[in-house]
Amino acid sequence: MSFLRPFLRKLLWCLACATALTATAASGREVVIGVFVYQGERAATEDWSPVLDHLSASLPAHRFRLEQYDVAGLRSAIAERRVDLVITNPGYYVAMEAEFGISRIATLVSPLAISTRQALGSAIIVKTERQDLRDLADLSGKRIAAVAPEAFGGYLVAAREMRRQGIDPESDTREIRFVGLPMTNVIDAVLSGEVDAGIVRACFAEQLAQQGLLRIEALRILSQRREEGLPCALSTPLYPDWPIAVTRHTDPVLAKTVARALLSMPEEKGGLSWSVPADYQPVHDLYRELRIGPYAYLRDITPGGLLRRFWPWLLGALALLGAWVIHVVRVEHLVQRRTAELRDSLRAREAAETRMRESQEQMEHLSRLSILGEISGSLAHEINQPLTTIGNYARTVLRRQGSGNLSPEAVTEACTEIVNEAERAGGIVQRIRHFVRKRETARAPVDITAIAAEARRLISGLMAQAPEIAIENRSAGPCQALADSSQIQQVLLNLIKNAIDAGRDLPAARQGILILIETVDNRLLIHVVDRGVGLGAEQRGHLFEPFFTTKQEGLGLGLPICKTIVEAHGGRLRAEPNADGPGMRFTVSLPCHEHSA
């Protein structure tokens, strides 16, 4: 039997090698990249081939393939799970983010762009000899050529700028003629005199001139503006560059691997490179202002639309409101006539309420990249409930009116419920609008307790079953941090969300969160304490590294971004286990601001 042992050892070694080769082959599946085509398949292949080559070289275990699609084809490919990665312009990304839940992992750094946040714009062109056209206001009553109603640089960016200048493209112009791709169709329509003006992507005409395909002297740009660092003129502000996104079914491990490879792509590869995901809030603002894409529902809930649909019930509500106002005025008059002290007390209370309102209106909000999809889903889900109730009561009144069983009591009950649900829907819309409002970065002495309270309110308002969040202020002395309140709020929201995730599957007694504020050695400390599952020593050692995460669906970018924000404020962010029990304690340390004499 001893002579069989060497043979058995060799057989087991061969089986192990075969198993390892099989596992390696299984992991190296084909990865399909869906690309939006705006100038033809050949141009798309040439534009993105450096990216494909870099990914293939960086990740040899995977086979990357490029597929070109128009808008309809790209939507179908995402819906049918035929693509793993998506490269498209920022406008289509925002629409597909809301529709399919795709999530960006990097933003393109174009050679001609100023930055990832300032890359894409529109130019409104006219023939040079058209001296009657000088600025956007002159387009009233004129014919305009554009690519398509949903084209980002080819229509939407310019349409928003025209609305800002007092020109509604849909009603104030004589005609908007959509000529389709390629974009040279727009230039041909302008030069032939078929239209008075045309909308093209910024720098497009200059690129054609460099290729010898256009005499740039024949065209002129309306409301011309120059951006420092941009080699061409344009008519609009600039928006973020193209993102690359993963779909909902994309493996998170593959997503992180691709993100690492893209962020390490050198610029000399075709002049393209990639950066961390940019803030696409300006694109959301554009879609919301134009009331299209994920914000198309706003066209149906305008005051005029509600008035046309529900004017009888609104009239009844106004009558009730008028009666209530008269009653309040009468009671107020009696109270003021009976006692001067109560009148003074009432004025003091009204002044306090006014100060509170003004304080609430001044609170800063910051767009959160990681939860924009949750905001859209929360809005669609929550606002559908009051609208459904309003519709049910309206149909009941109509049905009872048709059958002759409509009584004044039924009308009163229906109108009361409709008013309540309309106010509820308005409250939902107002809360979401305040949540996504974007403001410029500005540092000033801030009240950390107030920022923590606002973060708690936002979490409680957007989560169906938010745990209890306690705030305890132990700070002594007039210590205030000099900071951007929106950025510090973003850090707290991220830490609170991580704390909620840490205790999500635990008993209710361990789901509570404590925000502790104190001052130590002329520094302001903000502790976010949870009683969750905690982290091991090895996990804590990699906690602030990009792409490291303990969550199955996470990308590992939240804590590194928080650390960058805190360090930019001259502070520190650290994590440690709780000394008195399970869970973690995340501490933000900021220097106290000294007031100038």
Residues found in the chain: 597
User: Is pLDDT at 493 greater than 60 in this prediction?
Assistant: yes
Per the model's pLDDT, the better-predicted residue between 561 and 116 turns out to be: 116
- Predicted confidence band of residue 427 (pLDDT cuts 50, 70, 90): low
Mean pLDDT computed over 278-307: 83
What is the model's pTM?
0.49
Cα gap 5→440, rounded to integer Å: 75
**Beta-sheet pairing, 513-520 with 523-530:** antiparallel
| pLDDT at residue 429, rounded to an integer | 66
User: Is pLDDT at 420 greater than 80 in this prediction?
Assistant: no
> Residue 244 in contact with residue 104, Cβ under 8 Å?
yes
Residues near 532 by Cβ (< 8 Å), separated by ≥ 6?
499, 501, 502, 503, 506, 510, 582, 583, 584
- pLDDT tens-digit series, residues 312-361: 887 888 889 999 999 888 888 777 777 777 777 778 878 776 765 454 34
Mean pLDDT computed over 365-370: 42
Per the model's pLDDT, the better-predicted residue between 227 and 351 turns out to be: 227
Mean pLDDT computed over 427-435: 59
In sequence order, what E strands does 222-301 have?
243-246, 273-275
φ/ψ of 523, rounded to 5, equals: -130, 145
User: Is pLDDT at 17 greater than 60 in this prediction?
Assistant: no
Which domains does the chain carry?
25-115+241-293 (3.40.190.10), 122-221 (3.40.190.10), 303-436 (no CATH), 444-591 (3.30.565.10)
Cα 494 off chain centre by? 15
Mean pLDDT computed over 212-230: 90
Cα gap 340→166, rounded to integer Å: 51
Tokens of 235: 């008519």
User: Is pLDDT at 2 greater than 60 in this prediction?
Assistant: no
- pLDDT tens-digit series, residues 461-483: 666 567 888 888 888 777 888 88
Per the model's pLDDT, the better-predicted residue between 564 and 93 turns out to be: 93
Cα gap 479→526, rounded to integer Å: 13
Cα gap 157→152, rounded to integer Å: 6
In 3D, which of 421, 423, 402 has the Cα closest to residue 413? 421
| pLDDT at residue 281, rounded to an integer | 93
- Half-sphere exposure (CA, 13 Å, Cβ side) for 326? 6
| pLDDT at residue 56, rounded to an integer | 92
Per the model's pLDDT, the better-predicted residue between 196 and 114 turns out to be: 196
> Average model confidence (pLDDT) for the chain?
81
| pLDDT at residue 26, rounded to an integer | 38
* Eight-state DSSP code of residue 300: G
In 3D, which of 91, 220, 240, 235 has the Cα closest to residue 164? 235
Cα gap 492→149, rounded to integer Å: 40
Percent of the chain with pLDDT strictly greater than 70: 80
User: Is pLDDT at 92 greater than 80 in this prediction?
Assistant: yes
| pLDDT at residue 358, rounded to an integer | 53
Query: Which of 92-106, 128-142, 208-222, 418-432 is the least confident region?
Result: 418-432
Mean pLDDT computed over 558-579: 85
Per the model's pLDDT, the better-predicted residue between 323 and 24 turns out to be: 323
User: Is pLDDT at 274 greater than 80 in this prediction?
Assistant: yes
User: Is pLDDT at 498 greater than 90 in this prediction?
Assistant: no
User: Is pLDDT at 234 greater than 60 in this prediction?
Assistant: yes
User: Is pLDDT at 400 greater than 80 in this prediction?
Assistant: no
User: Is pLDDT at 230 greater than 50 in this prediction?
Assistant: yes
User: Is pLDDT at 18 greater than 80 in this prediction?
Assistant: no
- Predicted confidence band of residue 564 (pLDDT cuts 50, 70, 90): confident
| pLDDT at residue 245, rounded to an integer | 96
In sequence order, what E strands does 253-311 have?
273-275
Identify the H or E element spanning 577: strand 572-577
- Taking CA atoms, 122 is separated from 158, 198, 241, 327, 433, in Å, by 6, 10, 13, 56, 27
Number of C-beta neighbours around residue 389 at 10 A: 17
- pLDDT tens-digit series, residues 122-171: 999 999 999 999 889 899 999 999 999 989 999 999 999 999 998 999 88
In 3D, which of 472, 477, 475 has the Cα closest to residue 518? 475
Mean pLDDT computed over 547-567: 73
| Radius of gyration, alpha carbons of the chain | 30
SS3 107: strand
Residues near 328 by Cβ (< 8 Å), separated by ≥ 6?
none
| pLDDT at residue 152, rounded to an integer | 92
Q: Longest C-alpha distance within the chain, in Å?
A: 116
> Residue 287 in contact with residue 95, Cβ under 8 Å?
yes
